[in-house]
Amino acid sequence: YLGIPIGDNPIKLIMWRSILDNIINKLAPWKNKFISMAGRVCIINSVLTTLPLYFISFSRCQKKW
């Protein structure tokens, strides 16, 4: 089990709730640290680009757009 929702409709907002919670939990420890704004931007950029792409890689695309 990799922590990804299997069998859900990727269009539904409820499916993404666990992913958003995961992102928020990853960023929470950095909230009270003494990090520059540029450092925070780098951390946020890293987390926001990698987690959703990981979960999206397991969902199927629709044939019709």
Q: Could you give phi then psi for residue 32, rounded to 5 degrees?
A: -100, 5
CB proximity list for 42: less than 8 A, separation 6 or greater: none
Q: Is residue 19 part of a domain?
A: no
Structural domain includes residue 18:
no
Per the structure, how many domains does the chain have?
1
pLDDT confidence of residue 36:
81
**Structural domain that includes position 54:** 37-64
Query: What does each of the 65 residues of the chain score in pLDDT, given as a tens digit?
Result: 455 666 666 667 777 787 778 878 877 776 767 778 888 788 778 877 777 777 777 776 666 65
Distance CA 5, CA 15 (A): 7
Q: Residue 50: inside a domain, yes or no?
A: yes
* Residue 44 domain-assigned (yes or no): yes
Domain assignment of residue 46, yes or no: yes
